[in-house]
Amino acid sequence: MMKKIFISILFLTPNLIFAQPNPKEKKTEMPTDFSRIKEVLKNDQLEGEVKKKIEKQKRLNALEEKESTERFNIPKENEFWSFISEYWIVKNMEKMKWNFEKPDYGLDEYFSKFLEEQGYYEVKFKILLLDNALIPHFCLPSNPNEAIFLISVPFMRTLDLSKLEISLLLLEDFVRSKMNQFKSKVSPLDLDKTFGINFQKQEFPQKMFNEILKKYDEVVYDKGFNFEEQFELTIKMERILKSNPTLWTAYLGLIEKIGNLTKTNTIYQNYSKLYPSPEMQLNWLRPKKKVL
């Protein structure tokens, strides 16, 4: 008996699933008694279920509509900067020369530990090595608790930098980034008001984003940072490093090395324009000699 039922279901099911209504077949019109259907539904307590399902569907539709509208949102500040920095990096690939094969310097593990030792926890970092001597080192604006570093391999090699020295340089850029020195230079006045707005029914502020990208070019390729910013940073670095004699000595040695390089190697003459200037930094950091 069971076998017969099973076999008959097995044969019948595909017919039921794949059965298509034949358009040539004439449908026999049957009057539908809706009031009776309603009564049956009520008796089976299905009316409540139907209501619940309709409500659920309404909620889903509203959620879908919300998501669809939100796709026209301009990101809030905490999600914006990493995107725009990476977009700029991608658009400047040829100029920056980052698409090249390089050895593994082991910076990932070393710099993670270095940051922890300086009390910077839960920082996600991305270091991009460049085959370009003209962009020595930068930390681009990024989302909170993230850092996007650029560092030149020719610069590292010419100075024969150790992992500690590279880490000190990256730390300097990281501290500068936390002081918003880069961000403040590339942010148009109205940017804060633009974060998080929805542009579905208004014009997309393309000009503003083009302006930001242009400012990135200016900072990295041309103007860098001014004396005032460099002074503030140097004093901050002193506060961070001076309690650790090893780091402090290494930091002073690093600035001295860079200073000598910029004076003697014409390729790096532009460095003092971007970071004015290693010589001044040393003057700010070294104890002043008393004149008797």
Partner 1 sequence: MTGKQFNLHGRFRLRILFLLILISFSDVFAAQVPSIKDVYFNRFSGHLHQGPDAQSTSLKVLNCGDILKVISNEKEVTTPSKFNWSKLQTASHIGYVRQEFLSTELPNCFNNKYLKFVEQFKMELTDRYNWGRLYDHYVLGKSKVK
Give the whole-angstrom CA distance, residue 139 versus residue 19: 64
102, amino acid identity: K
- The least CB distance from residue 215 to partner 1, in Å, is 16
Q: How is residue 71 written in tokens?
A: 């796709």
* Beta partners for residue 137, in sequence order: 151
SS3 10: helix
- The least CB distance from residue 224 to partner 1, in Å, is 23
Nearer residue to partner 1 within complex by CB, 2 or 30? 2
Nearer residue to partner 1 within complex by CB, 25 or 101? 101
Nearer residue to partner 1 within complex by CB, 147 or 159? 147
Binding site for partner 1 (CB under 8 A): 1-2, 5-6, 9, 13, 17, 70-75, 79, 83, 86-87, 89-91, 93, 98-99, 101, 104-105, 107-109, 111-113, 115-116, 120-129, 199-200, 204, 206, 209
Angle between helices 206-217 and 77-91 (to 10 degrees): 60
Give the whole-angstrom CA distance, residue 223 versus residue 276: 10
Q: Where are the alpha helices (DSSP H) in the chain?
A: 2-18, 34-43, 46-70, 77-91, 93-96, 107-117, 153-158, 163-178, 181-186, 191-194, 206-217, 227-241, 245-264, 271-274, 278-285
Nearer residue to partner 1 within complex by CB, 9 or 235? 9
CA-based nearest residue to 144, from 129, 125, 166, 127 = 125
- The least CB distance from residue 96 to partner 1, in Å, is 11
Nearer residue to partner 1 within complex by CB, 125 or 271? 125
Nearer residue to partner 1 within complex by CB, 172 or 229? 172
- The least CB distance from residue 153 to partner 1, in Å, is 12
- The least CB distance from residue 200 to partner 1, in Å, is 8
- The least CB distance from residue 55 to partner 1, in Å, is 22
| Contact by Cβ (8 Å): 216, 88 | yes
* Radius of gyration of the chain from its Cα atoms, rounded to whole angstroms: 33
Nearer residue to partner 1 within complex by CB, 133 or 170? 170
Give the whole-angstrom CA distance, residue 260 versus residue 241: 22
| Contact by Cβ (8 Å): 119, 97 | no
- The least CB distance from residue 82 to partner 1, in Å, is 8
| Contact by Cβ (8 Å): 111, 167 | yes
